[in-house]
A and B are shown apart, each in its own frame.
Chain A
């Protein structure tokens, strides 16, 4: 074996790829069940995108609104997801979220309190009751730090700054993963009986996004290429409120908690425009509705100076704003010279979350590939066509926990993995290949072209003509990606080299989003077609499922997983909303 493709081998029962909330929670569960568990993250531990989650964790604790119940949370989740959610996932989520929140408190999380000393809950878009357990506007940091401190004292092996580029297979099942250490560029093979994907979203395929460099659709692409199915990929959530100025921070998240705490949206004429789009819920309508409303206002010429709209919370008073939204206060003060306690901020939609992802079994988080599990944003089904704010952190905890249990059970039964040297060599050659291309395509340029394509042609509003054009552009980008490479530097901490491989995953996901968007001839949740602006009954009961067939993507509509016992709850919600 030549020196440059040498690798080290590490053995575990279970490996978890991704160390945000879902990955951490999954790893804690695996190791609590006595399994040798590895947690692999692209960044340092504790830096995952979960830290950016601001508003809170949705759980029907009923501490503030005593009427709340798992049933209402389930109904709200389905209404938010426009009834395309996997019902069983939504049920488990609503039932188990309160226990997961209380467990965090027992592990040291310090939530804001009610006057009688319980966990405080706030209102959020699409939630009938005050439901979000929170810590000011930095709930995600609290969640990740709590899990991190729990995890490191439990014997989990944490591998930081390590990127997985391939899943390795033994026949049908997964048996390990191939990756590189960012620091040295050296290769590593992780052997395992179970693998949990928890890599988060695909936001970096879009130009304006709240996501960091890590969110390149790794889990979705790794899973897809290993034989797992993807579901609901057309549903991309544009968070209605991202910063629009200055240019460097365009897309940066402005928490929904601003609206939860009473923030008001207006256009350049001073009109409170949500009256037109959702008079019942106003600013606290679901994210898809608010994002389209802002987009429409701007497009029709009623936008703010930097191409967004105004969001004002100053009427709540300086002290309250600083107490409840401290990081928003600082973010605007320091980055945009705007004091949100005295005037409005400018906001506009930003690519935030992917509802779709790896299709999993609700109870165990297993994909259809034996030994492969997925949880959190890189899995699909829980959120249907649109995710409610606050349901992400709870999703991470509930299904992180379940994936951990599922993967642990599988690992206990599965025979020892057999490695195939040829797969490893192939993976190593792919990575060294990026240095061996004369006249290589610049990865940064190609990345920008991908982002521009997705932004312009597969954004908030879509139509056949543009989607078809996007497919053509993506084919071209795929062709150029074959020649992507880097001449500068070596394998030591080289972000250009890293991007070469990340691009591959982004392109797989971009294609899945675009093809599914082209197939779904209706508008629903995070998918709006100008040419098919209405709901369609057939599509209202079908998810689009994608699998790899040879080199091609195969798409097929597949009936929504419903549960007869829950039907009365769903019908009741539909009747209420129809009124």
Chain B
């Protein structure tokens, strides 16, 4: 058994500072174990979120040595022996206390996305090939690490203009569901702000569920937006027929 030093942010929206804690380290330990040990033995009030300890619930997101990670999945032996490990709250969201941030904005965004709405003729026969694509998106554990790294949200704080990668994944799971009957393309283009994504792929890199956020969700969705709004043939067609724009409910048109 050896000891290791952790630099953990302690504070709230009024401010705070990094505090050093020495932790007895066992084989196979993860960062969340260290945080729990500190709670038990040195700082009973150290605030952090966790539930599953198995990378399945997405509660324990934090920035470990500056990198957005799940604390329960980040092993101490991934870091050189003796190196101090810093643990900070995720930066894209307002801090509540210590490692806990206010992620409620994400829940508000989700409410704006029209839910799964089956086609009227749905017969509920679906094949695995079609499911595979959707199931990839449904693996999302809502850790919001992708939201945390996306520069549109993190550096430019455009939360009023862009839903962020997590909700591109959510929309993709609905749009690519073989039996869904809504078209959310207009929503993506307008309120969703898909145009603000410039495909840097940072979100894909941090996703603990290995969802190919950019390649499989955002790029195909962008293509749909282009097809629908910028394709000259389609635009003429819409002008002639009155198209989708007659619908007073943006993004809620029925698919053909």
A492 contacts B by Cβ under 8 Å = yes
Selected contact of B54 from candidates A52, A106, A149, A247, CB within 8 Å: A52
* Cα distance A496–B42 in the bound complex, in angstroms: 11
A488 contacts B by Cβ under 8 Å = yes
Enumerate the 5 nearest inter-chain pairs by beta-carbon distance, A residue then B residue, closest first. Answer: A246-B28, A489-B45, A108-B116, A496-B44, A117-B125
* Cα distance A246–B76 in the bound complex, in angstroms: 12
Closest to B108 in A: A152
With A113-B126, A117-B126 known to touch, is A49 a contact of B98 (CB < 8 Å)?
A: no
Interface size on B, residues (CB 8 A): 61
| Residue pair B55, A334 in contact (C-beta under 8 Å) | yes
B214 contacts A by Cβ under 8 Å = no
Closest to A331 in B: B54
| Residue pair B39, A214 in contact (C-beta under 8 Å) | no
Closest to B114 in A: A153
Q: Which residues of A contact B252 (CB under 8 A)?
A: none
A110 contacts B by Cβ under 8 Å = yes
| Residue pair A44, B59 in contact (C-beta under 8 Å) | yes
Main secondary structure of the interface of B (DSSP, over half): loop
* Cα distance A281–B135 in the bound complex, in angstroms: 32
B73 contacts A by Cβ under 8 Å = yes
Q: Which residues of A contact B96 (CB under 8 A)?
A: 183, 492-493
Chain A positions 133 through 152: 1 when the CB is less than 8 Å from some CB of chain B, otherwise 0: 00110100110010001101
Closest to A153 in B: B115
Rounded to whole Å, the gap between the CB of A172 and the closest CB of chain B is: 36
| Residue pair B139, A252 in contact (C-beta under 8 Å) | no
B103 contacts A by Cβ under 8 Å = yes
Chain A positions 100 through 121: 1 when the CB is less than 8 Å from some CB of chain B, otherwise 0: 0010011110111101111000
* Cα distance A339–B114 in the bound complex, in angstroms: 41
Rounded to whole Å, the gap between the CB of B100 and the closest CB of chain A is: 5
Q: Which residues of B contact A224 (CB under 8 A)?
A: none
Selected contact of A112 from candidates B28, B125, B131, B177, CB within 8 Å: B131
Selected contact of A252 from candidates B54, B59, B97, CB within 8 Å: B54
**Chain A contacts to B: CB under 8 angstroms:** 43-49, 51-52, 102, 105-108, 110-113, 115-118, 135-136, 138, 141-142, 145, 149-150, 152-153, 158, 160, 183, 212-214, 245-249, 252-253, 327, 330-331, 334-336, 442-445, 448, 486, 488-490, 492-497
* Cα distance A150–B56 in the bound complex, in angstroms: 21
* Cα distance A145–B134 in the bound complex, in angstroms: 14
| Residue pair A327, B56 in contact (C-beta under 8 Å) | yes
With A138-B139, A492-B97, A495-B47 known to touch, is A335 a contact of B56 (CB < 8 Å)?
A: no
B85 contacts A by Cβ under 8 Å = no
B68 contacts A by Cβ under 8 Å = no
B128 contacts A by Cβ under 8 Å = yes
Closest to A444 in B: B40
Rounded to whole Å, the gap between the CB of A305 and the closest CB of chain B is: 13
* Cα distance A76–B103 in the bound complex, in angstroms: 44
Q: Which residues of A contact B139 (CB under 8 A)?
A: 138, 141
Closest to B127 in A: A117
Rounded to whole Å, the gap between the CB of B55 and the closest CB of chain A is: 7
A–B complex contacts, Cβ < 8 Å, 30 sampled? A44-B49, A49-B52, A51-B51, A51-B52, A52-B57, A102-B124, A105-B124, A108-B177, A112-B131, A113-B128, A135-B135, A136-B135, A141-B138, A149-B115, A149-B116, A152-B107, A158-B107, A183-B102, A212-B51, A247-B28, A249-B54, A252-B54, A331-B54, A336-B28, A444-B40, A486-B44, A489-B45, A492-B47, A492-B97, A493-B96
B175 contacts A by Cβ under 8 Å = no
* Cα distance A477–B234 in the bound complex, in angstroms: 73
B27 contacts A by Cβ under 8 Å = yes
* Cα distance A213–B138 in the bound complex, in angstroms: 25
* Cα distance A496–B57 in the bound complex, in angstroms: 22
| Residue pair B111, A153 in contact (C-beta under 8 Å) | yes
Q: Which residues of A contact B191 (CB under 8 A)?
A: none
B12 contacts A by Cβ under 8 Å = yes
| Residue pair B110, A152 in contact (C-beta under 8 Å) | yes
